[in-house]
Structure 1
């Protein structure tokens, strides 16, 4: 039964990790290499992720650079970033593509807060679904006489504690992201 509890914890942690990954892609006016992850470059007749075409780095708080490995691909990378719908305006600088990150206005910050809240709610729902699966498993184990009523109570309390802890982690991550979004 301890193995099943560990599996429940692992699945809940997966929801937290997915949330952090979603948050990394939210633009906060501060440069982050993960901002360019969704960009794909039309190169050599196929669509390639930008991280397979060059090295993305963050030289300053409001600037991204992509050091393109193939000199002939620089303009394709610049065009892909421009057309990705991220609201970025890249500039070619030799074999590098410099991407300044513009300031966010108040309206856009509020929109990003709502998106962050939506991501957090999806993570909470995922954690609650894992909890429900765990509770169903415990009921079935008790019904099949694999565990006693006392063990069922003990394990369900443990599952509830895991749920509470992971929901609290999600709420903390959301609060931190909202603060980061509203920071000017």
Structure 2
């Protein structure tokens, strides 16, 4: 029975790691006024009829603190890449010189910073919800094990371990959000 409890606890850790990883990837996409090539992750381009990740059709580099440069590997791909960038609604307009596409990150206004902080906090709340849902599901599994013969003390101890893992991960979500808020609000 204890190996089943250990399996539930290790599943809790794994699932919560994935939830934190998802939060981190979402927070990276929120631009903080600095050029970051990761904000283009998940962007797909129509590559001769097939949706293809942008990093597989162009070389993406950061020219300076406020400029991302995309150099397509094939010249005819400039227009589809530019179209994908416009549809992504990144808040920047691509500049195309026929060879490379440049994205100039404008400095953030105070109003825009506050909007981004709200978005960060929304992502943080979604992360906390995901972690709490994982906790709920895992505690239900412990209760099922208790019905199948797990002692009440062992069930309470397992629930305590799961709650401890949950508390650590919620604190991690809050720290990630606080760090991102600080990054956004720094001028």
Q: TM-score, normalised by structure 2?
A: 0.90
- Structure 1 position 180, deviation (Å): 0.7
Unaligned runs of 5+ in 2: none
Aligned to 1:169: 172
Query: How far apart in 1 are the matches of 2:47 and 2:139?
Result: 50
User: Does the alignment pair 1:62 with 2:66?
Assistant: yes
Local SS of the residue matching 1:58: strand
Taking a change above 3 Å as real, the CA distance of residues 136 and 43 of structure 1, as seen in their structure-2 partners, is closer
> Cα distance 1:43–1:152, how it changes in 2: closer, same or farther (>3 A)?
closer
* C-alpha separation in 2, matches of 1:162 and 1:18: 17
Residue 17 of structure 1 pairs with residue 13 of structure 2:
no
Task: Please list the CA deviations of residues 152-172 of structure 1 after superposition, one character each: whole Å capped at 9, or x if unmatched.
Answer: 121111001000000000000
CA distance in 2 between counterparts of 1:25 and 1:55 reads 18
Indicate yes or no: 2:147 matched with 1:140. no
Instruction: Give the superposition deviation at 1:93.
Output: 4.0
Picking from 131, 154, 159, the partner of 2:157 is: 154
Work out whether residues 69 and 102 of structure 2, in 8 Å CA contact, stay in contact via their aligned partners in 1.
Answer: yes
User: Cα offset for 1:111?
Assistant: 0.6
User: Aligned pair 1:107/2:107, yes or no?
Assistant: no
Q: 1:71 aligns with which of 61, 68, 75?
A: 75
- Which moved further from structure 2: 88-97 or 162-171? 88-97
Mapped to 2, the partners of 1:138 and 1:87 lie a distance apart of: 47
Give TM-score scaled by structure 1 length: 0.91
Aligned residues: 183
Question: Superposition RMSD on alpha carbons, in Å?
Answer: 1.6
